[in-house]
Structure 1
Amino acid sequence: MRIRSIEELRKLIEREKRRLSSYKYRIYVVSASCTHPEVTQGLLETLEASLEDIYIKDEVLVSPTGCLGVCSRGPIIRVEPGDYVYVHMTPEKARRVVYEHIIKGRPLKEYLDDNVTLFLRKQTRLVLRNVGKMNPERIEDYFAKNGYLALAKALTEMTPRQVIEEIKRSELVGRSGSAFPTGLKWEIVADMKDYPKYVIANLSEGDPGVFSNRALAEGDPHAIIEGMIIAGYAVGANKGFLYVRSDYKLALKRLRIAIEQARRYGLLGERILNSDFSFDIELISGVHEFIAGEETALISLIEGKRASPRRRPPYPATQGLWGKPTLVNNVETLANIPLIILKGAKWFAQFGIKGSKGTKVFSLVGHVKIPGLVEVPLGTKLYDIIYEIGGGIPNGHKLKYVQVGGPSGEIIPGDKLDLPIDHKLMGSGGIVVFDDRTCIVDIVKFLIEFFMEESCGYCIPCRVGLVRIYEILDRITRGQGSLKDLELLEKLCTVLRKACLCGLGRSAPIPVISTLRFFKDEYLMHIEKGICPAGKCPINKSVNER
């Protein structure tokens, strides 16, 4: 069925809302990369069979859904109304949920986890608004969440310039780490008179431990697609490319399904909603390379070349894909767009703090009781994320330091957790918590090794400089370092920050710089005393041996 007007879309939306509300209960089974497909299928079949046995299958919806962000508690079943999240589910437990909760109306407290309840309740989910609450493989479920109504509003009530001005007023910035003002980037592309223009959605997500973009694509693929279409309308592009790393197989599957469904309803293709605007999306995947997250490297990859960064200027907004004006946005950035258009920039800007508006999805991992996906307003303090949402440090250990923003993010001491996370600190959205059993020098060496292996090798400061930094850190961990090595580390980091071609090389030294500022004493213990306080390094002596 091709939707030809906003009125037809509204009727579809109301129809789907009525359909969902007609069920007495809605049971969602988490089906994501963090769950085994056979386990998910087994739970779905068990629930459906149990409901059929007691002749109430038509009264209860059973559906797969996306990741709720608490993978460590899976398999998970979520029951509406009431938002009950049952953890560590098995077919036997699923049957009990049917007979006790669904039939008798008595939720099973022994299958609930208070920590998970608090973990979810204390978040502000805008980007992840639909994840865990709909079937991501049914566009009709997205309609029931007012899906594509923002697109219809943009096409029928707003000019492209008005769309851009609304995004600028929202103060949304890029969510991939660059934090460049989204509206300004759109405006630059829109002002270019060179055609054709392109939109690229980036889902390369190469940082270790970061999986928020994957969860978004698996749980709410249409939010990304709707954001892309609105972006295309605003900047004057008729073609979009959605890049996904090839090992994100479920995300690729669901995005492919979503694109075909959008085409079937006429929301992609020629004359969308009977307007003069046409737009289509091509889904592209490639072997995972960390460097593909850099926008010019991604452009090279889409052009069929090696993923290598390009010198800037010119910037992609003026001369990008095949030399044409190109808008490159992260998928999380794009998922915010429908909300801003539908509810307004003023509504969006109520979340966050001055200069950092909206929310950010973080992957909270490491030594924390409840690791997972956390979406909070920008400006939220690190303490609140780690202790109020994540539950604190397990097994009686103390927090030593936190790395914020991915592997190239700042490493912050445990006594500075009152720091609010703003757009400068958020990076790619990783928060890694380390307890008192870890060695700061060993961790930094691991991070530099990661960057050394992921470097494209194009520019000498990155290709050679990272190796030299790694060699110095390795010497220190072996008890062979000197005070001059610390001076050399600082000089090398300065060179990389200034001379590298792309963001990978320029940001790679940040963990070294921040730890030399906050944890220099631990470096000195390795060098001057031959001691690794945590006993982790292959050094001559350690505290554990004394």
Structure 2
Amino acid sequence: MDKPLTGALRDDRRPLTLAEYRSAGGYRGLQQAIKNLDPEGVLQQVKDANLRGRGGAGFPTGIKWSFMPRGVGAPKPRYLICNADEMEPGTFKDRLLMEANPHLLIEGMAIAGYALGASIAFIFLRGEYTRAAAHLQRALQEAYDEGCLGSNILGGPFSMELYLHTSAGRYICGEETALINALEGRRANPRTKPPFPQVSGLFGQPTVVNNCETLCNLPAILAEGAAWYRALGRHEDAGTKLFAVTGNVRTPGLWELPMGTPIAEIFEQCAGGMAEGYRLRGFQPGGASTDFLLPQSLELAMDYDVIGKAGSRLGTGSLILLDDRTCPVAMVQNLTHFFAQESCGWCTPCRDGLPWAEQLLTEIDAGRGRPEDLDTLLDLCDQAGPGNTFCALAPGAAAPIQSALRLFREDFDAHIARGSCPYHD
């Protein structure tokens, strides 16, 4: 089994029933955890597997879990939350998993809950994912009926209730502390850290928030072992990942591939290369909130550290391509418009800085920009950088702006010098 996330999917992408999931080896990992390991043993397996969070940051999952207080006298109840508020432009990996194999997520959450001693868990789902919600709800009922959730799961001593919560929020709800506030019925603003959620999260209790794809890796790790999982990777990072390609390519889509797969392989073999009449100018390797890279970076491995050293982030692993017939100024303006309207308004660099950046980009794109506007944009990016805001929304929004100014400066200059967009002539 070299595709633990998608290997069991039906060709028609209809959701697997519990019986179909079990026939493909489903719930074997949960049984292995509950019957043969204690919670510390499961935690060690996840650490040994070197599973890194798939939501964008890439933080080691086992280490994140270990920050939760453990042992006699540790606070109870403890909570587990699946972050399925997938709103990063260009990213749709979690949607596939929840729509096509909802039991994979349920089993992963039960394994995580057992390791963490969490008696209550939530799936925090993006509100627009109505099909995923329907499929998850049916799968939850099946899991309860068959003893895979609820009291004494699989006949063991562990019990956990799992609830589906459909979000009414926005992009900011993908930030874990804003998500927790929204789940409590509060405004979705990020919280000051510390304390971190593992110590004081939902309702002030120890809480772990993991991405959907992260949790979906757990069944295979427990069923096949940490060494097997590590061996799936082709570079430093372990396991497989869902990689997407969007833009003017021959076959845009989503594929499960080993971590460390070269970008060129994803771009050329999976996506078929650029569509006829288009040439690649650059790309964002990890979704809309990552820095642009140039075509010479295609040979890089899709690993967290490799992409980081190249000046961007692996993020969600969703490649967004810029071709030679698309205006980079207009592309960045469109992205900035999204981030500006999705700001929660909690901190000044994000609340005021992003709309200002959007306005400047709009003026430049329309041919009304001034040379000094480019310096102002760079200043705004510095003010919205890491450490200056409550969460990563503003730094992520600044990434495509500052990298586009660095890599495609001639396009910005041409708009200002000509008084119009060269791509619209």
The letter for the 2-side match of 1:183 is G
1:216 aligns with 2:105: no
Q: Which residue of 2 aligns with 1:160?
A: 39
Q: Larger deviation: 498-507 or 479-488?
A: 479-488
**Which segments of 5 or more consecutive residues in structure 2 lack a partner in the other structure?**
none
1:307 to 188, 195, 199: 188
Partners of 2:317 and 2:393 in 1: how far apart?
A: 16
The letter for the 1-side match of 2:337 is E
Partners of 1:429 and 1:203 in 2: how far apart?
A: 16
Deviation of the 1:354 alpha carbon: 4.7
Does the 8 Å contact 1:247/1:288 carry over to 2? no
The letter for the 2-side match of 1:501 is F
Q: Which residue of 1 aligns with 2:380?
A: 492
Q: Which residue of 2 aligns with 1:130?
A: 8
1:343-362, Cα deviation, whole Å (9 max, x unpaired) = 11111111225542222212
Alpha carbons of structure 1 residues 212 and 262: separation in structure 2 relative to 1, 3 Å: same
1:51-108, Cα deviation, whole Å (9 max, x unpaired) = xxxxxxxxxxxxxxxxxxxxxxxxxxxxxxxxxxxxxxxxxxxxxxxxxxxxxxxxxx
2:417 to 528, 532, 546: 528
Partners of 2:161 and 2:50 in 1: how far apart?
A: 27
Alpha carbons of structure 1 residues 504 and 360: separation in structure 2 relative to 1, 3 Å: same
2:253 to 369, 372, 377: 372
Partners of 1:357 and 1:350 in 2: how far apart?
A: 7
Does the 8 Å contact 2:239/2:258 carry over to 1? yes
The letter for the 2-side match of 1:172 is L
Among all aligned residue pairs of Structure 1 and Structure 2, give the percentage whose two residues are the same amino acid.
39
1:449 to 321, 337, 348: 337
1:289 aligns with 2:289: no
Q: How does 1:184-223 map to 2 (within 5 A)?
A: 184-189=63-68, 191=70, 193-223=74-104
The letter for the 1-side match of 2:8 is N
1:405-452, Cα deviation, whole Å (9 max, x unpaired) = 111112122343222222243212321223211111111111111100
Q: Which residue of 2 aligns with 1:434?
A: 322
Q: How does 1:21-36 map to 2 (within 5 A)?
A: none
1:249 to 125, 130, 143: 130
1:402 aligns with 2:278: no
1:502 to 374, 383, 391: 391
- CA-atom RMSD, angstroms? 1.8
1:91-144, Cα deviation, whole Å (9 max, x unpaired) = xxxxxxxxxxxxxxxxxxxxxxxxxxxxxxxx9633222222586252000110
2:274 to 370, 390, 393: 393
Query: Which structure has the greater CA radius of gyration?
Result: 1
1:534 aligned counterpart, secondary structure: helix
Alpha carbons of structure 1 residues 135 and 408: separation in structure 2 relative to 1, 3 Å: closer
1:263 to 141, 144, 149: 144
The letter for the 2-side match of 1:472 is L
Partners of 2:280 and 2:256 in 1: how far apart?
A: 22
Partners of 1:323 and 1:152 in 2: how far apart?
A: 31
2:64 aligned counterpart, secondary structure: helix
Deviation of the 1:317 alpha carbon: 1.0
Partners of 1:364 and 1:448 in 2: how far apart?
A: 20
1:470 aligns with 2:358: yes
Does the 8 Å contact 1:263/1:269 carry over to 2? yes
Does the 8 Å contact 1:137/1:254 carry over to 2? no
Deviation of the 1:328 alpha carbon: 0.5
Matched positions, count = 414
Partners of 1:404 and 1:127 in 2: how far apart?
A: 21
Partners of 1:397 and 1:146 in 2: how far apart?
A: 44
Alpha carbons of structure 1 residues 453 and 526: separation in structure 2 relative to 1, 3 Å: same
Does the 8 Å contact 2:122/2:162 carry over to 1? yes
Partners of 1:261 and 1:529 in 2: how far apart?
A: 63
Deviation of the 1:501 alpha carbon: 0.9
Does the 8 Å contact 2:285/2:292 carry over to 1? yes
Normalised TM-score (structure 2): 0.93
Q: Larger deviation: 142-151 or 203-212?
A: 203-212
1:181 to 44, 60, 72: 60
1:414 to 279, 289, 295: 295
Partners of 1:512 and 1:437 in 2: how far apart?
A: 19
Q: Which residue of 2 aligns with 1:360?
A: 241
Alpha carbons of structure 1 residues 379 and 327: separation in structure 2 relative to 1, 3 Å: same
Alpha carbons of structure 1 residues 419 and 354: separation in structure 2 relative to 1, 3 Å: closer
Partners of 1:355 and 1:189 in 2: how far apart?
A: 27
Partners of 2:247 and 2:381 in 1: how far apart?
A: 26
1:471-527, Cα deviation, whole Å (9 max, x unpaired) = 221222233333322222112111101311111112110001211221122222223
Q: Which residue of 2 aligns with 1:518?
A: 407
1:331 aligns with 2:219: no
Deviation of the 1:196 alpha carbon: 0.6
Alpha carbons of structure 1 residues 293 and 243: separation in structure 2 relative to 1, 3 Å: same
1:2-45, Cα deviation, whole Å (9 max, x unpaired) = xxxxxxxxxxxxxxxxxxxxxxxxxxxxxxxxxxxxxxxxxxxx
Partners of 2:208 and 2:423 in 1: how far apart?
A: 47
Q: Larger deviation: 227-236 or 301-310?
A: 301-310
Q: Which residue of 2 aligns with 1:115?
A: none
Partners of 2:128 and 2:248 in 1: how far apart?
A: 26
1:416 aligned counterpart, secondary structure: helix
Partners of 1:240 and 1:253 in 2: how far apart?
A: 18
Does the 8 Å contact 1:150/1:342 carry over to 2? yes
Deviation of the 1:288 alpha carbon: 4.8
Partners of 1:484 and 1:396 in 2: how far apart?
A: 35
**Which segments of 5 or more consecutive residues in structure 1 lack a partner in the other structure?**
1-122, 536-543
2:292 aligned counterpart, secondary structure: strand
The structure showing larger relative contact order (alpha-carbon pairs under 8 Å, at least 6 residues apart) is 2
